[in-house]
Amino acid sequence: MEKKEQPIVKRSLGSWILEGSALLQVLLVVIILITVLTRVIPLEMQKRIINEAIFLRKMDLLVLYCIIYLSSVVAASLLKFAINVIQTMISQRATAAMRSHLFQHILTMPLDFFRTTQPGTVVNSLVNELALPGNFIGMAVATPLINILTLVAFAVYLFWLNPLLAGISLTIYPMMLVVIPILQRRVNRENRRRVNVSRALSSTIVESISGLHEVQANGAFNLEHRKFFLLVDRLKSIRIQWNLFKSAVKVTNNLFTSLGPVVIFVLGGYLTMRGQLELGALVAFLSAQEKLYDPWKELIEFYQIYQDGSVSYQKTMQFYDLPVAQKLLPLDRAPLELTPSIETENLTLEIGQGLKLLDKVTLKLNPGEHLALVGFSGSGKSTLALCLAQLFPYTSGKATLGKVEISNLTRADMVNTMGVVSQNPFIFSGTIKENLLYAHAALHGEGGMLEQKGEPTLDDLISMLQQSGIFVDVLRFGLNTIIHPDDRALAATIIRVRKHFQKEFGDEINEWVEFFNETKYLNYSSISDNIIFGTPIDTEFQANSLTKNPFFMQFLDQADLSTPLLALARNLAEQTVDILKIIPDEALFFDQSPIRPEEFDTYNTLVTEIRTKALHQIDPAQRSALLELALRFAPGIHKTVLMPDHLKTLVLEGRCMFRENILNTRPNAISFLQENSYIHTHTILNNILFGRTKSVSPHVQERINQFIVHLLVEEDLLEKVIEIGMDFDVGTSGNRLSGGQRQKLAIARAFLRAPSVLIMDEATSALDNRSQQRIQNVLSRRFKGKTTLIAVVHRLDNLKAYDKVAFMKSGKIVEMGSYDELIKQRGYLYELIHEHQ
């Protein structure tokens, strides 16, 4: 049962004063009353110290009154700090509550609002504009109460007693210079944390608003709200700590300043009793500490904060004071399970000045029927689909879902029955699995709109991945994952798969893959890879650092490799430069040379400089450039020159020598390739291949993947790899996925829900023909007769699969019927199809 409450945009600023903080406000009042008393006690102690202890020369009274005075000062400081702590908690609670309620309201606002409102405006409203009102809420009770009571108490006491006596001891400032900078450093650190979390909060807000189409279509209001609230709660905690340390700086300063009179009482009182200091001088010295101005100053500042916070709050709430598009949950019933029948009569959407996006649209769909909407751009196809999904409000006519008017249904009723896949689906930050389960979590997860249910099984998820066509992509993500070194069981299984792979398919794919072998030279690996035969752990042994590595350069000399490599590189540079000067297709040739396009001018100059020099005459810089080129050379890829067999033999001998040297001197610098060991710096795929592919042909890659999948199935490892692939992080707004992958993931998300009504608004527009046909086959085979489908179709060859086709023009359905019926009529659809033939 949804609790009916006043919309946040209608609430006054003052209504937040007790929001979740009533007990804190009561506690604050009690502390303020005690604080005012502790401020008066020191004044009374001054009088007694002078009139009784000093004048009567009683040391015991002097000590007693000084102790009472000191206790009052410390208590007042601690109470002031407590007041600041409570004010901060009240302020941050109110700010977090305002942000949370306003964000939840914004998620339910009409989509039209966000066509003219930039996400940055919403971010600024939630992050910045509510900060001032929140600060005011924290001060609303404490600041006026404590300052007014202080003024009254001081005035009454002074009227009875005459002038206030106070003093400052200069000896406390050195201590302040030590303590306060320490606290200030903590303030600065917490402030940096606050800025970082604020940026993360802004990013989350922008993402939720950008993906609001998906949020509303899936009814994921609570899901997004929970994600937002976690960051808000974290920011609340950081801001509390930040303000605590800011308050500690101020309170510490005040505490040290207030300790001054103690020194004056002790030293000045002692000197006065000895007759060394006049009483009048002591009184004048103490009177300098009067602080009647401080309460007035704080009241003026409070009034300014109230004005700023009130204006900011009112402007923010007025900006978002629009009616919620639909009720989220029904008040007195469970969400409806509607019959998947759709009917419209004279459905019209007018946006002003007589402009109609939909004009008296009438149609009827029985449960399980599939309808294709076709027509030219701007004909109203998507608008009609979105009106039926309750994402656009129609202005007149009727539209029913299961005989119930769509405009009267809550979002819970709609999402319980209907799923939506848009042309540009929004993918949220997180993993593929989280996005796949997004609609399920919005409905059945914690805080979901419907009854809570457990997550779908792994088999269900894999089935949806296969049906949507993203299974192969997820498998690739899994195969390209680097597993954690502690996952020894998985590593052992992959090593077993590696052995079976070479045993069962080694002969068949030998022409496509060059397997790693300690005793053979690898023609499709660089010379440096052949020497090291492993993965560098120490950055000094990475390929781009080897010529700067003294250990490696010394090894080349010891292994008699330096001179042959220089000769090879010289020949390679000369051949490449000479050929590239005369052939027009440089890009194609660069693929067969270790010289990169941006390096051509450098090596062209180098060749000119060394052409007449002997190898021993080459200077160190030229030598380093040539060796770097030689170490990149892979004879199977770079066809410019042939690699002499004797150099291959030297490299193989050097491989053994290098391993022996490195293991003796720097055993942790290289992770060597071993047939029976898992390479934790390589992906699962590379560990299975244990070699390099000789071709980049898609056909070759597909065949290799087929063999690997076959072995994964045999080893009962396929589901595990898919599960790993589903943990792939899609990036901000899914920017690590292609447009086609995002559409497939959105389709899988909708398929997983298995809604009674499915709306697909050009949901396969970014897919290739083969993938589109796969989706259409799934729709026809799995959904026809079970799920009512409305699809905005852009591929005309798929129209035969639909029960009905509606051709739209200028917001109207100008013809509707089966595909064969419309073709026989030789109307709009007939003309459209023949235009595309």
pLDDT of residue 290: 55
Bridge partners (DSSP) listed for residue 807: 374, 815
Instruction: Choose among 490, 535, 543, 493: nearest CA to 516.
Output: 535
Q: DSSP alpha helices (H): ranges in 379-457?
A: 381-388, 411-417, 432-436, 438-444
Report d(CA 231, CA 198) in Å as an integer. 9
pLDDT of residue 346: 93
pLDDT of residue 278: 42
Contact between residue 79 and residue 165 where contact means Cβ atoms under 8 Å apart? no
Q: What is the DSSP string of 296-343?
A: HHHHHHHHHHHHHHHHHHHHHHHHT----SS-SS-SSSPPP---S-EE
Contact between residue 4 and residue 38 where contact means Cβ atoms under 8 Å apart? no
Above 60 in pLDDT, residue 292? no
Q: What would the mean pLDDT of 339-366 be, rounded to a whole number?
A: 88
Range name among 288-292, 297-301, 451-455 with the lowest pLDDT average: 288-292
Alpha carbon of residue 262 to chain centroid = 55
Q: Rounded to 10 degrees, what is the CA torsion of 497, 500, 502, 505?
A: -110
Pick the CATH number of 342-473+728-836 from 3.30.70.2740, 3.90.1490.10, 3.40.50.300, 3.60.9.10: 3.40.50.300
Question: How much is the mean pLDDT over the chain?
Answer: 81
DSSP helix/strand/coil, 398: strand
Per-residue CA distances from 438 to 130, 223, 728, 753 (Å)? 30, 8, 15, 10
Q: What would the mean pLDDT of 752-770 be, rounded to a whole number?
A: 88
Alpha carbon of residue 809 to chain centroid = 42
Instruction: Choose among 372, 397, 513, 396: nearest CA to 815.
Output: 372
The pLDDT-based confidence of 367 (bands split at 50, 70, 90) is very high
Q: How many CB atoms lie within 10 A of CB 471?
A: 18
812-817 sheet: strands from edge to edge = 418-421, 757-761, 788-792, 370-375, 804-809, 812-817
Above 80 in pLDDT, residue 544? yes
Instruction: Choose among 740, 746, 533, 530: nearest CA to 648.
Output: 530
Bridge partners (DSSP) listed for residue 364: 343
171-185, 206-220, 653-667: which has the highest mean pLDDT?
653-667
- Classify residue 352 as left (phi > 0), alpha (psi -120 to 50) or beta: left
SS (H, E, C) 595-622: CCHHHHHHHHHHHHHHCCCCHHHCCHHH
Per-residue CA distances from 640 to 219, 572, 635 (Å)? 61, 7, 9
What residue has token string 């020894």? 488
Q: How many CB atoms lie within 10 A of CB 152?
A: 12
Q: Supply φ then ψ for residue 511, to 5 degrees.
A: -75, -15
Report d(CA 647, CA 658) in Å as an integer. 16
57-66, 187-196, 308-317, 745-754: which has the highest mean pLDDT?
745-754
Q: What is the DSSP string of 481-501?
A: PPPPTT-HHHHHHHHHHHHHH
Contact between residue 401 and residue 409 where contact means Cβ atoms under 8 Å apart? yes
- The residue type found at 109 is M
DSSP helix/strand/coil, 276: coil
Q: How many CB atoms lie within 10 A of CB 328?
A: 18
Range name among 442-451, 464-473, 653-662 with the lowest pLDDT average: 442-451
pLDDT of residue 169: 44
The pLDDT-based confidence of 798 (bands split at 50, 70, 90) is confident
pLDDT of residue 277: 44
The pLDDT-based confidence of 193 (bands split at 50, 70, 90) is low
Contact between residue 821 and residue 831 where contact means Cβ atoms under 8 Å apart? no
Report d(CA 823, CA 811) in Å as an integer. 22
pLDDT of residue 170: 42
Instruction: Choose among 172, 170, 171, 164: nearest CA to 284.
Output: 164
Report d(CA 624, CA 499) in Å as an integer. 40
Q: Supply φ then ψ for residue 807, to 5 degrees.
A: -95, 125
The pLDDT-based confidence of 293 (bands split at 50, 70, 90) is low
Range name among 278-282, 784-788, 792-796 with the lowest pLDDT average: 278-282
The pLDDT-based confidence of 178 (bands split at 50, 70, 90) is low
Instruction: List, in order, residues 6 or more apart from 504 with CB less than 8 Å away.
Output: 707, 711
Above 60 in pLDDT, residue 271? no
Show the tokens assigned to 289: 């500490």
Measured over the CA atoms of residue 34, residue 40, residue 42 and residue 44, the dihedral's sign is negative
511-515, 675-679, 746-750: which has the highest mean pLDDT?
746-750
Above 70 in pLDDT, residue 677? yes
Taking the domain 8-319, which CATH number applies?
1.20.1560.10
The pLDDT-based confidence of 42 (bands split at 50, 70, 90) is confident
Say if 8-319 and 342-473+728-836 have the same CATH topology.
no
Digit-coded pLDDT (tens) for 692-747: 888 777 788 888 888 888 888 888 899 999 999 999 999 988 889 998 999 999 99
DSSP structural state of residue 431: B
Report d(CA 34, CA 36) in Å as an integer. 6
pLDDT of residue 123: 78
Q: What would the mean pLDDT of 317-329 be, rounded to a whole number?
A: 77
Measured over the CA atoms of residue 580, residue 584, residue 587 and residue 591, the dihedral's sign is negative
pLDDT of residue 258: 60
Digit-coded pLDDT (tens) for 473-527: 999 999 999 998 888 889 999 999 888 888 888 788 888 888 998 889 999 999 9
Domain assignments of the chain as residue spans, ordered by start: 8-319, 342-473+728-836, 542-665
In the chain, the percentage of residues whose pLDDT exceeds 70 is 82
pLDDT of residue 366: 92
